[in-house]
Amino acid sequence: MNVHAPKIPAPKIPASETPARETLTAALPAETEWLLEHVAHNRFLPQPPAGSIYVGDGDFLAIGAEFLRHFVTLGGLRRSHRVLDVGCGIGRMAVPLTQFLHPERGSYEGFDPVLEGVMWCTTTITPAYPRFRFQRLDVAHALYNPQGVVSGAELVLPFANRSFDFALMVSVATHLPPDELAIYLREIARVLAPGGKLFLTAFIVDSGAVETEGRDA
């Protein structure tokens, strides 16, 4: 049976209740700001060989550092959070998070269908950061894992209810059909603790994009 994401109209929020951008990017505590700057300029963080990076173009470390700042300033990520990385790839989000999450109170779980990425993370990141764990879920995907044995429409995350405080879904929703995305979101909601947050990237389809057939927004 197909599961469809319900179409819920966006709530109308009075302008007086809409946070200004400067509020979302307000000054951070000095220690947090220092950590973010450290990640952004640390040339010694591990990164995979250029030929093995399949998660997009651009500077591997710089993009990861930029997303980390978004997680903190826009998503409210804290150093003590238990983080779930849906589609962890080859560690682009995990590498900067090793410098931010608290080594004893914070934790990270990442999964991906691509074995090579999971193996690099497991052999490079986990030995130095034992609270960062990675696993392969053999979920079928036409582009990344066409021989996968698990249908995305039947996905069950191997984590207990309310196991995480913060979930990442970077460049994943844009690669899933709506029916499968609904399953992913249902599972993420299950494993997030009360008050937990999901940081998700998606395309914005405006009137101009609709009028321009065949192009992404």
Dihedral angle sign, alpha carbons of residues 47, 82, 118, 60: negative
**Residue 15 and residue 126: Cα distance in Å, rounded?**
45
Inside any domain, residue 103: yes
**Of 165, 141, 166, 4, which Cα lies nearest the Cα of 70?**
166
Whether residue 23 has pLDDT greater than 70: no
| 1 within domain boundaries | no
C-alpha angle 25-85-112 in degrees, rounded to nearest 5 = 145
Identify the pLDDT of residue 27: 62
Of the chain, the percentage scoring pLDDT greater than 90 comes to: 59
48 occurs within a structural domain = no
pLDDT single digits (tens) 114-135: 999 999 999 999 999 999 999 9
pLDDT tens figures, 45-73: 998 887 777 666 678 899 999 999 999 99
On whether the CB atoms of residues 133 and 108 are closer than 8 A, the answer is: yes
In the chain, which ranges are continuous DSSP H helix? Answer: 21-24, 30-41, 60-73, 94-100, 115-124, 178-191, 207-211
In-domain check, residue 22: no
Domain assignment of residue 102, yes or no = yes
Calculate ∠ Cα 101-163-26, nearest 5°.
45
- By the 10 Å C-beta count (0-12 exposed, 13-18 middle, 19+ buried), 126 is classed as middle
Residue 198 included in any domain: yes
Could you list the residue range(s) of the whole structural domain that residue 205 is in? 60-211
Of 86, 90, 81, nearest to 124 by C-alpha is 90
Per-residue pLDDT tens over the stretch 166-213: 999 999 999 899 999 999 999 999 999 999 999 999 988 877 766 765
Coil, strand, or helix at residue 166? strand
CA dihedral 54, 198, 190, 112 (to 10 degrees): 10
pLDDT in tens, 66-83: 999 999 999 999 999 999
Distances (CA, A) of 117 to 18, 27, 55: 39, 35, 10
Rounded to whole angstroms, the Cα distance separating 172 from 130 reads 25
The reported pTM is 0.81
Number of domains in the chain: 1
Q: Would the pLDDT of 85 be above 90?
A: yes
Q: Residue 168: inside a domain, yes or no? A: yes
Asked if residue 33 is part of any domain, the answer here is no
CATH number, residue 152? 3.40.50.150
pLDDT tens digits along 151-169: 888 999 999 999 999 999 9
